[in-house]
A and B are shown apart, each in its own frame.
Chain A
Amino acid sequence: MMNMKFILSSIFVTLLIIGCGQDRDADPKYVRIAISSNPQSLDPALATDVNSGDILAKLFNGLVRFDGISVVPDLAETWTVSPDGVNYNFLIRKNVKFQNGRELTASDIAASFSRILDPKTRSKRTWVFDAVDTFFAEGNRFKMILKHPSAPFLSLLAMPTCYIVPIEEVNRLGDEFARRPCGTGPYRFVRWEDDRSVLLEKNKNYFEGAPEVEGIIYRIVPEPLTQTALLKRGSLDICEIPEMQIPVFRKDSVWKERIQTVDQLVTVYVAINTERFTDERIRRAFNMAIDVDKIISSIRNGLGTRSTGSVPPALMPEKITGFEYNPIEAKRLLKSADFDFNKKIVLLRSSVRGTLEPAEAIAGFLRDIGLKIQIEPMEFSAMRGRANKGDFDLCLLNWYADYADAENFIAPLFSSKNIGSAGNRSRFSDSETDSMIEKILSLCQGNERGSAIIAVSKRIIKKAPWIFLWYPRTAVAVSPRISGYTIPAIFNGDKGTKYKIVKREVRQRND
């Protein structure tokens, strides 16, 4: 027995000793942020994913940037727009230096934008400049002339794609630039180990003053439960809380104070193939059959708001109403449309995490009004392929804002010009909607555009090419040792200049 005790205690001690090993990805000198996948590229021209955009915002600057959902000056100190809305004239900030020491000039902006448009760059975001006719640098000014007025134009310029790069570094490094980026941003790049971490250190020469913290480590941790385990252990500072963990965090005495939530500029929906369900009464019935509030409260633990149309409320000039849960009316509509209840309807969903439960719930509600629904889970790109081709009945999808403008939730999704991969997956084609969208595209920001947006949104709800579901809300836990972090509304909206480390070490043990 003595022996057993000895063995057990030596195992205990050994575990304690090896448990103290240093984790260089968790260095408490830095702010440690969890991301769930390896960034695709740290070259602004090539990156299209959210994680890359988040990191790029720390490394680079654009002419303008997001503050909340409004556009504010960044490298451009001020700008003027001609009354016809096609001439933009930016005054470029002085004394801005790239991290290689060279001063930024207006011609760097021209060079960076030309690079995006160069087919050799293979940027997937050339469409950002679709409205642009020409641009050039003139002294410390940068001018852009548009083909036609474009209300979201400034918003587009705040995208990571439009960040300014030192062209000599791009030429020197070639493809390597994506692995060793260099910009003007508040942080400079130190190292990137695939599937492990990206380390940034503060840029002491940042034009708005160096950040207070030494740097940021982005830890690449794919599994959400692993992220929260690392957070509670004190090896992470900021991570998203998965929906199922919300109640656990809300009950925890330390963490309940440390939860932040933000409404994302995202809309979750079921695309209805309007070529197969041509009668809008049927599509409206689908919308009324689903108790979205119930799904939000029971599956998403309250993280979301029921959709009122496709556009998230933050981007709407005024509130409008969507569909109410009304299964009796839904059944009546289906009967009046002579709907064939024996027809099997397939609901496609991707096998991505977080789609199983919502799909089951949606199918359940639709079965309740007598429909025959079959869920078909598929690998994500295979599903997207079928959705693009229109080879589906119903398809659970979502749409992330590329830029903060209501138009981004209307034109790509409902214009008959954009059927298929461009965004209109429900293959919705309605000439009146089309002409309303054209009107929005031609108008500059203002009241008239606001009412046009409301009008088209109402029309889209009436025509019901989607089952409108919810606008998700993200919950993030921030370690008590960090202050100055607020979740940005748009993924590249956080420059990380306000972070502070208030306590060196936070180590919580669960008991």
Chain B
Amino acid sequence: MINFFFRRIAGLIFVIIGVTFIVHLFIHLVPGDPVDTIVGQSVSEEDRIELRKELGLDKPLIIQYFFFMKRLSKFDLGKSMITQKPISDIIIERFPRTIYLALTAFSISLLLGIGAGALTALFPRTAFDKTIMVIAVLGVSAPVFVTALIFRYLLAEKFSFLPPAGYGPIAFVILPAMTLGTRSAAFLARLTRTTLLEILSEDYMRTALAKGLTPARALFKHAFPNAMPPLISILILDLANYLNGSVITETIFAWPGLGRFALTAISQRDVPSIQAIVLVMAVTYVLAMTLADLARAWLDPRLR
């Protein structure tokens, strides 16, 4: 296990270095001159050249990459071209908000998804099962902005239970978290149901029931542990998706997280910010995948 752990971590470092390189390269492929973003187009050519020098844009790409990595090693992500704020400060300010939203959404999806999945697996092919699965199909296929507007209409406009948007105490997180969470909950419910049904038809489950366990007890004691490995990886990837900021949900609910920052940065051509966000997102994702692998290996020794 320890050996496996170190191998994965070593691989991780290479992946992250690769990501930084690709990010750096991509940013330079995007049309448009960062100098335009900073000073506009009415500036003399000499001043532009001066500014390019100052920003290091006159150096070859590989040298620029070297400087970028050097700064990165000191956790310096540069300054936003638009707001002039250090990007690391912006990310430190916003990441907790996105984590807050992500964890709430994750809890909702976990409770609803696994719960509905387990219940339907206990009563397969009943009316209850069918109803839940129809809802789940709708949940998976409805785009986020539709679910967002439906939830908001019902819970904030029709009945004023919740604030329609904004950032603040617990009430504010519920609508965006529901929007995010129900989508993966629906997916999770279907996955839990199929996985559990498969396991429930195994011989050892029949043995468990034959020795007198109640179906619920058999489910929790024997079926769940065996259903966990595939679910865990889906759950962790979901969490990584939430952590990467949900541009649409954060925009609809005016949630000032990482997703909004990404959107603003892209629309304003704020190159250093885009670079930093992509990097943070990529690292989060890669870390989550590694975590998922490790968790699965821990739960299922055959995978090591």
Contacts and interface: CB of A to CB of B under 8 A. Distances in A.
Given A25-B166, A226-B165, A509-B160, A37 B264 contact: yes
B190 interface: no
Interface stretch (B105-113, B223-231, B254-262): B254-262
15 contacts: A15-B161, A16-B161, A18-B170, A19-B160, A19-B161, A122-B39, A179-B83, A194-B93, A194-B94, A194-B261, A195-B260, A223-B251, A229-B165, A230-B164, A382-B32
A261 interface: no
A385 interface: yes
B31 A385 contact: yes
Contacts of A380: 267
Contact of A40 (B85, B261, B268): B268
Given A41-B83, A124-B42, A222 B32 contact: no
A385 B163 contact: no
Contacts of A22: 168-169
Nearest to B266: A379
A122 B156 CA distance: 45
B158 A510 contact: yes
Interface string A52-73: 0000000000000000000000
Q: Which are the 8 A-B pairs with shortest beta-carbon distances?
A: A124-B40, A21-B171, A229-B164, A21-B169, A195-B256, A15-B161, A196-B256, A18-B171
Given A179-B83, A385-B31, A221 B165 contact: yes
B158 to A, nearest CB: 6
Given A18-B171, A41-B83, A219-B166, 10 more contacts: A41-B82, A126-B42, A178-B84, A194-B90, A195-B254, A230-B164, A230-B166, A381-B32, A382-B31, A382-B32
A221 B254 contact: yes
Interface in A153-204: 175, 178-179, 193-196
Interface of B: 31-32, 38-43, 47, 51, 82-85, 90, 93-94, 149, 152, 155-158, 160-172, 174, 251-254, 256, 260-261, 263-264, 267-269
A306 to B, nearest CB: 31
A412 to B, nearest CB: 11
Nearest to B37: A381
Given A122-B39, A421-B41, A226 B253 contact: yes
B157 A233 contact: yes
B44 to A, nearest CB: 8
Given A19-B161, A124-B39, A193 B256 contact: yes
Contacts of A23: 163, 166, 168, 172
Nearest to A121: B39
Please indicate which of the listed interface residues A122, A194, A382 has the most CB atoms of chain B within 10 Å of its own CB. A194
B264 A15 contact: no
A30 to B, nearest CB: 14
A235 interface: yes
A15 B178 CA distance: 13
A220 interface: yes
A208 to B, nearest CB: 31
A510 B155 CA distance: 11
Interface in A19-61: 19-26, 37-38, 40-41, 48
Please indicate which of the listed interface residues B42, B155, B267 has the most CB atoms of chain A within 10 Å of its own CB. B42
Given A41-B83, A193-B256, A196-B167, A18 B156 contact: no
Contact of A119 (B47, B158, B171): B47
Interface of A: 15-16, 18-26, 37-38, 40-41, 48, 119, 122, 124, 126-127, 175, 178-179, 193-196, 219-223, 225-226, 229-230, 232-233, 235, 380-382, 385, 421-422, 507, 509-511
Contacts of B90: 194
A48 B254 CA distance: 23
A87 to B, nearest CB: 26
Please indicate which of the listed interface residues A25, A41, A382 has the most CB atoms of chain B within 10 Å of its own CB. A25
A48 B40 contact: yes
A348 to B, nearest CB: 14
Contact of B168 (A24, A222, A229, A422): A24
B50 to A, nearest CB: 8
Contacts of B32: 381-382, 385
Nearest to B42: A127
A233 to B, nearest CB: 6
A233 B42 contact: no
A321 B261 CA distance: 46
Nearest to A509: B160
Contacts of B94: 194
A471 to B, nearest CB: 25
B76 to A, nearest CB: 16
Contacts of A421: 41
Nearest to B253: A226
B42 A235 contact: no
A37 B171 CA distance: 23
